[in-house]
Amino acid sequence: MKIEAFALERWMTRYEVDVAYDIAESGIAPLTTRDLLDLLPGDDRQSMLDGLLDTKLGYSEAPGSEALRAALAATYAATGPDEILVTTGAIEANYLLFNTLLDPGDHVVAVAPAYQQLLSVPAAIGCQVSRWEVWPEGGFRLDLDALERLVTPATRLIVINSPHNPTGAILDADGLRRVYALAESVGARVLSDEAYRWLSHEDGAEQVPPMRDLGPLGISVGTFSKPFGLPGLRIGWIAAPADLVAACWGARDYVS
């Protein structure tokens, strides 16, 4: 695969670690291990620390530990551990999904602007990529009528990101259901990059449902990086039907 340079990542590599003030970070401020331990009740802190210090730094189970996959599965309505694949961040999850689901010539509709991977990897595979643009003239709104005009009977994958990076636009539950129904009408899947799923804009605001909960064509990608300030843990995951998870696991054997 020949792919264009990832402009954002190269820019961040040059500037991110050297600046005095960072007002363009894409997630909350990273926590330290001490910060994490301090979140625990006093009685649990020492036992957790002892367990951490005694953890062997060997290879883990390839799809992620059973305990972690079960905990992640529990955040969805009807998903089991065999429908979760733990990955090295959301970036690996998306990469595996694109390379498992897509073939050259496939039609993909992807939200734009977006994290460059969501557009550049399908293009590098040889897909025809239609950009679902989020325009300032439209109030940075995720315009579902515009999406509907882009989807065709040849569309194989719709790629969304809600809450949207960089605008913060959100599809509510009705909007997500409309996206799913649109995909279903043409036999496409929906890949929902939900890196910011756990962030709420208002106290007590109800979280919108993940795409995985809407049906077998829905795929959710999650991460600990953006909403929890834990990018250094490099934990992401795919929530999808078991057969797709198994196929992505097969591809992951060659990646990490």
Residues 110-150: tens digit of each pLDDT: 999 999 999 999 999 999 999 999 988 888 899 999 999 99
**Residue 29 maps to a domain:** no
**Residue 12 maps to a domain:** no
- Per-residue confidence (pLDDT) for residue 207, from 0 to 100: 79
Q: What is the mean pLDDT of residues 201-220?
A: 87
- Per-residue confidence (pLDDT) for residue 16, from 0 to 100: 75
Residue 243 per-residue DSSP state: H
**Residue 117 maps to a domain:** yes
Burial classification of residue 36, based on how many CB atoms lie within 10 Å of its CB (0-12 exposed, 13-18 middle, 19 or more buried):
middle
- Per-residue confidence (pLDDT) for residue 202, from 0 to 100: 66
Q: Looking at the predicted structure, is the pLDDT value of residue 31 above 80?
A: yes
**Residue 24 maps to a domain:** no
Q: Which residues contact 133 (CB under 8 A, 6 or more apart)?
A: 112, 146
**Residue 247 maps to a domain:** yes
Residue range(s) defining the domain that contains residue 238:
63-252
**Residue 82 maps to a domain:** yes
Residues 78-120: tens digit of each pLDDT: 999 999 999 999 999 999 999 999 999 999 999 999 999 999 9
- Per-residue confidence (pLDDT) for residue 198, from 0 to 100: 87
Burial classification of residue 72, based on how many CB atoms lie within 10 Å of its CB (0-12 exposed, 13-18 middle, 19 or more buried):
buried
With vertex at residue 205, the alpha carbon angle to CA 200 and CA 209, rounded to the nearest 5 degrees, is 80
- Per-residue confidence (pLDDT) for residue 124, from 0 to 100: 98
**Residue 32 maps to a domain:** no
How many domains, the chain? 1
Share in percent of the chain as helix, strand, coil (round to 5): 40, 15, 45
Q: Looking at the predicted structure, is the pLDDT value of residue 20 above 80?
A: yes
**Residue 56 maps to a domain:** no
Of the segments 58-62, 65-69, 134-138, 205-209, which one has the largest average pLDDT value?
65-69
Q: Looking at the predicted structure, is the pLDDT value of residue 200 above 80?
A: no
Residues 77 and 68: their CA atoms lie apart, in Å, by 17
Residues 151-195: tens digit of each pLDDT: 999 999 999 999 999 998 999 999 999 999 999 999 999 999 999
CATH code of the domain containing 74: 3.40.640.10
